[in-house]
Amino acid sequence: METAGGGPRASTSISVRRRVIWLVVLAAVLAAAALASLAVGARNVPLPTVLDALFHFDPGNGDHAVVASRVVRTVAGLVVGASLGLAGTSMQGVARNPLADPGILGVNAGASLAVVAGIFFLGVSSVSSYLWFAFAGSAVAAVVVYAVASLGRSGATPVKLALAGAAMAAGMGSLMSAMLVTSQDSLDLFRTWQVGALAGKSWDSVDAVLPFVIVGTVILLATGKLLNTLALGDDTARGLGHRPGLGRAVSAVGIVLLCGSATALAGPIGFIGLVVPHLLRALVGPDYRWLLPMSLLAAPAILLLADVAGRVILLPGEVPAGILAAMMGAPVFIAVVRRGRQAEL
């Protein structure tokens, strides 16, 4: 199985100019996705009207009111997408595992189970309350999955991590179902949150997670050089003056903050953290000093575009962004697994 890195040497053939160009392109794509999120829906709003609503808002204008109602949904998509993309990119570097993703490795499942437990036993119903349960569930799931995958002589190989994560997700899913089927109130609170959707968010919800997202983002953006050296092996990393164990622990804190925040705000959205790093490596190489900041642009763009598509493919209803993200991510997951098996032969 190929690793999810490559280190500084593997990336020297890609010029800084090319990376800067792609950075600008991704920023433009993200801006276009955000504008589409404001303009497209059950009631489409022309782009000039969207811009007019943003800079010269008229509360008496119906189109302006529609745009205003979509702003918080768009901001939530930016926050959730950036969190999942950055967390997934960092997870692949920390674990040196191309299959690492908050959904595949059971981190989202842990957060979901903890939130369901909070709903079932304590009746929590707000994002600010979900947050602490999501953080605890994410952390416990990450530790358990890595510990289980580390058993045996071969250690935590990519395939063992994926299998341990799948088993953890299945087990936690069963526990969630057991709690939900016995409580209609808990089921009603959990139902719309479970599918992973951006609709119906409030500014209070976004404000509750934003400080944790900022802290997690700062932590992970500072680990680019460490992840490059980890791709060369722990011994080499130590020889270069790094402490791999401490670096992984610090990265884990940032990952838990981002995964917990995203899950508390929008529910368990999978595959964004898997797809984005692989797309970016094809564009700019394996240097994490570039991959990490670029994931902050690419991931929310993909999530917003999935959300926009979900609004229009089944009018007058909607398909939640989490479902479309899984539909896009599943083929990428299969392709990565097939490529890894071919590399082993």
Q: How large a percentage of the chain has pLDDT more than 70?
A: 88
The predicted pLDDT at position 291 comes to 95
Instruction: Centre a 10 Å sphere on the Cβ of residue 148 and count the other Cβ atoms it contains.
Output: 18
Cα gap 324→150, rounded to integer Å: 33
* Phi, psi (deg, nearest 5) at residue 314: -135, 45
Nearest to 146 by CA among 89, 111, 106: 106
**200: Cβ contacts below 8 Å, ≥ 6 apart:** 192
The predicted pLDDT at position 10 comes to 47
SS (HEC) of 132-151: HHHHHHHHHHHHHHHHHHCC
Over residues 50-79, the mean pLDDT reads: 93
How many residues belong to the chain? 345
Over residues 142-165, the mean pLDDT reads: 77
Query: Which of 72-81, 122-131, 255-264 comes out lowest in average pLDDT?
Result: 122-131
Topology of the domain comprising 7-344 = ABC transporter involved in vitamin B12 uptake, BtuC (1.10.3470)
Give just the sign of the alpha carbon dihedral 15, 16, 17, 21. positive
Instruction: Centre a 10 Å sphere on the Cβ of residue 123 and count the other Cβ atoms it contains.
Output: 12
Task: Render the burial of 199-219: b for 16+ CB within 10 Å, e for the rest.
Answer: bebeeebbebbeebbeebbeb
Which helix (H) or strand (E) segment holds residue 260: the answer is helix 244-266
Query: Which of 34-43, 114-123, 221-230 comes out lowest in average pLDDT?
Result: 114-123
Structure tokens, 201 = 């968010």
| 307 within 8 A of 35, measured Cβ to Cβ | no
Instruction: Centre a 10 Å sphere on the Cβ of residue 122 and count the other Cβ atoms it contains.
Output: 10
**95: Cβ contacts below 8 Å, ≥ 6 apart:** 4, 105, 146, 156, 158, 161
CA dihedral 331, 335, 336, 342 (to 10 degrees): 160
Angle of helix 107-117 relative to helix 158-180, nearest 10 degrees, comes to 20
Cα gap 342→344, rounded to integer Å: 5
Residue written as tokens 């952390």?
Answer: 139
Higher pLDDT, 168 or 124: 168
168 pLDDT higher than 90? no
Cα gap 325→102, rounded to integer Å: 13
Nearest to 231 by CA among 5, 2, 1: 5
Cα gap 224→290, rounded to integer Å: 8
The predicted pLDDT at position 126 comes to 74
Nearest to 100 by CA among 342, 340, 344, 345: 340
Whether omega before 316 lies within 30 degrees of 0, making that bond cis, reads: yes
The predicted pLDDT at position 188 comes to 65
Which helix (H) or strand (E) segment holds residue 309: the answer is helix 288-312
Mean per-residue pLDDT over the chain, rounded = 84
pLDDT digits (tens, 9 = 90+) for 202-228: 899 899 999 999 999 999 999 999 899
Cα gap 68→132, rounded to integer Å: 30
Cα gap 221→299, rounded to integer Å: 15
pLDDT digits (tens, 9 = 90+) for 243-293: 877 888 888 899 989 988 998 888 878 788 888 998 899 888 889 999 999
